[in-house]
Amino acid sequence: MSASSITYDAVLALLQQGAGLASHSGKVQAGDVFVALPSLRGSTDGATFAAQVAAAGAACLVVSDQARLPEDASIPVLRVADPRAMLGQLAAVRCGTQALGFPLVGVTGTNGKTSICAMLEHLFRAAGRRVGVLGTVSYRWPGVERPATLTTPGCLELHGLLREMQDAGVEIAFMEVASHALDQQRVAGLAFDAAVLTNITQDHLDYHADMEDYARTKFRLFLDTPRLDKAVALNADDAYGARLLSRLPQSVGFGLHPLVELPEHRLLQGRILEHSINGLILECTFGGRHWTLRSPMVGGHNASNLLAAMATALQCGLAVEDLQALETFAGVCGRLERVPNARGRHVFVDYAHTPDALENVLKALDMLRRGRLVVVFGCGGNRDRGKRPLMGRAVCRYADVAVLTSDNPRRENPEAIMDDVMPGLRNCKDVLRLADRRQAIAAALERMDEADICIIAGKGHEDYQIIGETKFPFSDQQVVRDVLGSVPPCA
């Protein structure tokens, strides 16, 4: 018996009557609508599971109009041009997320997404709003906090989380939007009310063909997603941000050294008045208003993040006076996080795992140091090999002592990964190579004097290390406390 056809309206009717929605064949229950996602970079096409989901009791199957179904697939079928986009449309119907009832703000870019979302969360909570956040560290809203499985959840999970936020009375939500998520249409079915671009620098070239492909994917959040009239904040210091500023006349730029000329109502201009181990003093100008912000965070990249958060907040309804709440924002776990210790050493942990991010944090600490700069870093396995020597080169520019170790080696040999990094460290003053990350951190800390600064880069907030296919418990912060002695950590 061959598959029969079903109309789009009939599929909608099933969902409106309470049918479930699934895109994983192993999770199908009786009566579900199953969306068979096409192959993604060599993975198996979901249409091959047609007979399996039919046997599990699925009510119908949504497939690509190019999909070949098994002959024994006896199930009503809806053929569509783009099953991934259709999954988003159907998820919005199933979860009631077509109109969220609160603004949804997407933040994309290579670096800074987590920090900017946390800054916006801090600002809007200080203004009395109920805030939701979906990002690398966690998925959270009032009364709920769950560890994140992905920076941007899968499409069905994402719509489900936003429905939970609706039910909890969330008034505004901020989410990190990764390039993988945009390419895989995990945000399909959502209409963003605002979008932010932090920057675009080399990353994920194991996935994207080249930098232009990577940038085009990021641009989808601004050019292809619904609501082309949404508020947009773009980094005017970034070449890709400058390109978008010229294409989107409603957009607002932010920056310290803008690459394009913009009228004052389209540019939040920042200037660092003071930068010390105690933080930043930032002068800001926008739309004829002038104000000064004192932040306990360090680093020019954090000045840029602060500008991004302020430019977004102003477009989402806050006043200049509300922005002063950022003076009490101390930063995000694992983002240039100071680790208090019994010896009083200056030790920081940061998530920087791209050449640009590493350059930013090292430049920030280089400006503040009185002694040597000791850098512990590595590169992830089964990821973009091209950035490995670039990471080494960034470290070599600033470090007095470079300690090369493992990050998350995954299925690669740690020694082979470090071999890829070594050309970038060719001219470094002092290089120590230890594959065992715990030993490497301990060795770096024992080399420190009171005036030195140590930065442990790459893993940030992560409390695990991936070796092979297994996640082993591991915290850079805890290793520091184990070696130097613990003091009560900051909340």
| Residue entry with tokens 């700069």 | 373
- Cα gap 124→1, rounded to integer Å: 57
| Residue entry with tokens 């990002």 | 135
Residues 79 and 172 in one domain: no
Q: What pLDDT sits at residue 227?
A: 74
User: Which 8-state DSSP code applies to residue 410?
Assistant: B
What 3-state DSSP class applies to 199? coil
pTM beyond 0.85: the answer is: no
Residues 241 and 195 in one domain: yes
Q: What pLDDT sits at residue 206?
A: 59
- Cα gap 31→96, rounded to integer Å: 19
Residue 489 lies in a domain: no
Q: Which of 270, 294, 328 is the last residue of a domain?
A: 328
- pLDDT exceeds 90 at position 325: yes
Q: How far is CA 234 from the centre of its chain?
A: 16
Residues 168 and 290 in one domain: yes
Q: Which of 267, 302, 328 is the last residue of a domain?
A: 328
What lies within 8 Å, CB to CB, of 486 at 6+ separation is 341, 342
What H or E segment, with its residue span, contains residue 166? helix 155-167
- Give me the domain span that covers residue 143: 104-328
Residues 251 and 133 in one domain: yes
Q: What pLDDT sits at residue 72?
A: 66
Residues 73 and 154 in one domain: no
267-296 pLDDT per residue, tens: 999 999 998 877 899 999 999 999 999 998
Residues 85 and 142 in one domain: no
Bridge-partner residues for 466, per DSSP? 471
86-143 pLDDT per residue, tens: 999 999 999 999 999 999 999 999 889 999 999 999 999 999 999 999 998 899 999 9
- Cα gap 425→267, rounded to integer Å: 39
Q: What pLDDT sits at residue 52?
A: 87
Q: What pLDDT sits at residue 74?
A: 82
22-34 pLDDT per residue, tens: 999 889 999 999 9
Domain total in the chain:
3
- Cα gap 233→431, rounded to integer Å: 41
Give the pLDDT band (50/70/90) at residue 43.
low
- Proportion of the chain above pLDDT 70, given as a percent: 95
Residue 372 lies in a domain: yes
Strands 144-147 vs 131-134: parallel, antiparallel or unpaired: unpaired
433-450 pLDDT per residue, tens: 999 999 999 999 999 999
Residues 85 and 110 in one domain: no
SS3 content of the chain, % helix, strand, coil (to 5): 35, 20, 40
Residues 60 and 120 in one domain: no
The CATH number given to whatever domain includes residue 52 is 3.40.1390.10
Strands 138-141 vs 144-147: parallel, antiparallel or unpaired: antiparallel
Cβ–Cβ under 8 Å, residues 244 and 108? no
- Cα gap 153→157, rounded to integer Å: 6
453-467 pLDDT per residue, tens: 999 999 998 999 999
